Amino acid sequence: MPKLIPVADALSKPFWDAVNQRQLVLQHCAACDRLQYPPQQACQVCNSPAGLTWKEVEGKGHIAAYIVIEDGRLNRRMPDQPYNLAMVTLDADPRVNFYSNLPGTPPYKVPVGAAVEVTFEEVAPDQLIHEWRVA
Amino acid sequence: MAASAGYQWRRDKDGLGVWEHRGKVAVAGFGHSPVDRRWDEVSMDKTIGAYSILACQKAMDEAGVTADQVDGVICCDSHIAGGSGGTASQWAPRPYFAPPYDSELGLTLVNAQWLTEQLGLRNVKFAPTGVPTISEMVGMASQAVGDGVCSTCLVIYPTGNLAGRYRRGGENADDYARGARQWVAPWGNHGGNDFINSFPHGQYCRKYGGKHDDLAPFVVNQHRNGLMTPWGYNASHNVPQLTIEEYLNSRYILNPLRLWDCDRPVNASTAYLFTTAERARDMKQPPVYVLNHSQHSFRKRSTQEDLDEIEEWTDRAAKRMYEGAGLGPNDVDIFNPYDGYSIMTQFFLEGFQWHGVKRGDSFAFYAGDIRVEGPHPLCSSGGNLGTGRLRTAMYTDSIEQLRGTAGARQVKVRAETALAAFTTPSSGGWIMFGKHPN
């Protein structure tokens, strides 16, 4: 069963457009020199929208923690159970983190602390999502 | 009835100093309905509405207050299990019943206006709408009474439960992830306190060298306390005492989170009566004074809050509460933090440094004597884990401990101050009670 399909909105459209081009772009505040994800209307630090631009980042990170979903509530994901859900920090700024099911890593066999690289996975025709694989 | 629009009642900033109404507001009564696992969909005297009416009547009777004396009603609309929508959280499209059950009100929703009508409260002048949770409701009532917005205020917290698995349906049954869910749901996070705390809990175990199974003594003790709490689910339904072995062998939900790390959704309602300390002294019960209330709403940096953020947030929440109450960790006798999922309580325990517990110390503390008879009677209510998903056990137990009426649960240590909460590390609130106003 495929994953839930993200529905882009005005704020997130640049992000998902980039993902569909197999690129990882994040908001960057020029004033604070900070990356932020998920995108927001303003910089989380200076609260200003003025300095926010989209910046491509290198898709490298590390696994910080994980759980295994055995009895979740999402109908669409139930056939996948059990599956990993990891928290991945971005090397370019470890304050930024992502979720990942770690494709290629069997459930329960998650190497916490290991390096990961971004990959892209189709969840619907013309819709990719960002995922992470152990490097 | 006036709404709360524009009323600045929250104490949700750092450095606010001692609460201006410290010791001038009191809880004069409480009332619990029976606790059922679910509404049976037949008994009209067991609806969430009927139970809320009953809880209010009990609270008024306990305090010795008449309906005409009540001038404030604070009630959240609903915290029914199945809150994600779908058949689990709504009565419609099934046919409604005769009034007052001719809409969702009384069946899956309860609000101040409906309750005011059913109870025949004729002098209500403060009945806010959009009140989120019990942790904020008790703070709002405390501030409103202190400010003179109202003087005798009912606070009602209903938690309903209809047939069906917890929060299946609604957006969790959707194939699409919309709004904020686009960043979490594709990977499996359906939202909730379990996800908020599971990852920081994993980081906690790695950082401080513990393992998930170290929670077993805490969970089992919560169930033990719950069996001494007559108004809770476990005691009123003769639930057998959970054993360490049963806990360790229970099935996983979000591994390592097990079934018994989660509370049990129930159908019940609780009411409290807040009034001025001056009035409370003339009522039927000894007043339990409010020494401070505080709220917090911290914003996570990214997709998932991490251990560093949660430790910072709980440190700040503790500082706000202690500063406003004019007390410190060594002054708190009764400590009733939230435990809806067992994996979050350690963050509160360490943030508030109750009984000297510092970061990373909780699992060793759990392995010690935390029984109510012992020197460290943590969560003497039994919390949600021991009484069901009432979300009010922490408050009622605190009141009973300070009154000295907690029965088999009555602690042997001093019981003159109590700290209670229904909160996540990121948002919610705390309240400090005192046996004495000063």
DSSP B153-195: EEEEEEE---SSSTT-SGGGG-SEE-GGGGGTGGGT---SHHH
Q: What is the pLDDT of residue B310?
A: 98
- Give the whole-angstrom CA distance, residue B131 versus residue B76: 5
Q: What is the pLDDT of residue B135?
A: 93
- Give the whole-angstrom CA distance, residue B103 versus residue B92: 8
Q: What is the pLDDT of residue B1?
A: 45
DSSP B81-105: S-TT-GGGT--TTS---STTSSSSB
Q: What is the pLDDT of residue B4?
A: 62
Cβ pair B251:A65 closer than 8 A: no
Instruction: Give yes or no for residue B170 having a pLDDT over 90.
Output: no
Name the more confident of B80 and B303.
B303
Contacts of B334 (CB under 8 A, 6+ apart): B377, B380, B397, B398, B401, B402, B411, B415, B417, B418, B419, B420, B433
Which residue in this structure is represented by tokens 């990356």? A35
Which residues from chain B sit within 8 angstroms of residue A132, using beta carbons? none
Give me the amino acid identity at B239. V
B229-244 pLDDT, tens digit per residue, is 999 999 999 999 999 9
Instruction: Give yes or no for residue B108 having a pLDDT over 50.
Output: yes
Q: What percent of chain A has pLDDT over 90?
A: 98
| Partner residue facing A85 (CB), from B172, B187, B200 | B187
Task: Indicate the SS3 state at residue B55.
Answer: helix
Cβ pair B254:A68 closer than 8 A: yes
Which residues from chain A sit within 8 angstroms of residue B165, using beta carbons? 73
| Partner residue facing A96 (CB), from B181, B187, B302 | B302
How far does the CA of residue A111 sit from the closest CA of chain B (Å)?
13
Instruction: Give yes or no for residue B324 having a pLDDT over 60.
Output: yes
Contacts of B259 (CB under 8 A, 6+ apart): B250, B251, B252, B253
Give me the amino acid identity at B282. D
Give start and end residues of each alpha helix (H) in A1-135: 13-20
Q: What is the pLDDT of residue B88?
A: 54
At B81, the pLDDT band (50, 70, 90 cuts) reads low
How far does the CA of residue B179 sit from the closest CA of chain A (Å)?
7
- Give the whole-angstrom CA distance, residue B183 versus residue B41: 37
Q: Which of B177, B185, B184 is nearest to A7 (CA)?
A: B177
**CATH code given to domain B25-165+265-280:** 3.40.47.10
Say which range, A35-49, B66-80, B186-200, has the weakest mean pLDDT: B66-80
How far does the CA of residue A101 sit from the closest CA of chain B (Å)?
6
For residues B41 and B18, the answer to whether their CB atoms sit within 8 Å is no
Instruction: Give yes or no for residue B5 having a pLDDT over 70.
Output: no
Provide φ and ψ at B309, rounded to 5°: -65, -45
How far does the CA of residue A45 sit from the closest CA of chain B (Å)?
9
**Mean model confidence pLDDT for chain B:** 95
Q: What is the pLDDT of residue B346?
A: 98
Which residue in this structure is represented by tokens 């159970």? A81
Instruction: Give yes or no for residue B165 having a pLDDT over 90.
Output: no
Q: What is the pLDDT of residue B77?
A: 75
For residues B253 and B288, the answer to whether their CB atoms sit within 8 Å is no
Q: What percent of chain B has pLDDT over 90?
A: 88
Give first-to-last CA distance, chain B, whole Å.
33
Q: What is the pLDDT of residue B78?
A: 67
- Which residue of chain A comes nearest to B212, CA vs CA? A67
Q: What is the pLDDT of residue B89?
A: 76
At A19, the pLDDT band (50, 70, 90 cuts) reads very high
- Give the whole-angstrom CA distance, residue B404 versus residue B412: 10
A57-107 pLDDT, tens digit per residue, is 999 999 999 999 999 999 999 999 999 999 999 999 999 999 999 999 999
At B338, the pLDDT band (50, 70, 90 cuts) reads very high
Q: Which of B357, B353, B356, B341 is nearest to B419 (CA)?
A: B353
Which residues from chain B sit within 8 angstroms of residue A76, using beta carbons? 174-175
Best of B89, B166, B255, B306 to disrupt the A interface by mutation (most A CBs within 10 Å)? B255
- Give the whole-angstrom CA distance, residue B92 versus residue B104: 7
Sequence ranges of the domains in chain A? 13-134
Q: What is the pLDDT of residue B82?
A: 52
Please indicate if any CB of chain B lies within 8 Å of the CB of A8. Answer: yes
| Partner residue facing B202 (CB), from A65, A76, A96 | A65
Give me the amino acid identity at B378. L
Please tell me whether the overall predicted TM-score, pTM, comes out greater than 0.90 for this model.
yes
Prediction ipTM score: 0.98
Q: What is the pLDDT of residue B373?
A: 98
Mark B180-197 as b/e (b = at least 16 C-beta within 10 Å): ebbbbbbbbbbbbbbbbb
Q: What is the pLDDT of residue A96?
A: 98
Instruction: Give yes or no for residue B55 having a pLDDT over 80.
Output: yes
How far does the CA of residue A80 sit from the closest CA of chain B (Å)?
10
Instruction: Give yes or no for residue A5 having a pLDDT over 60.
Output: yes
Instruction: Give yes or no for residue B223 having a pLDDT over 90.
Output: yes
- Give the whole-angstrom CA distance, residue B163 versus residue B185: 25
Q: What is the pLDDT of residue B167?
A: 73
**Mean model confidence pLDDT for chain A:** 97
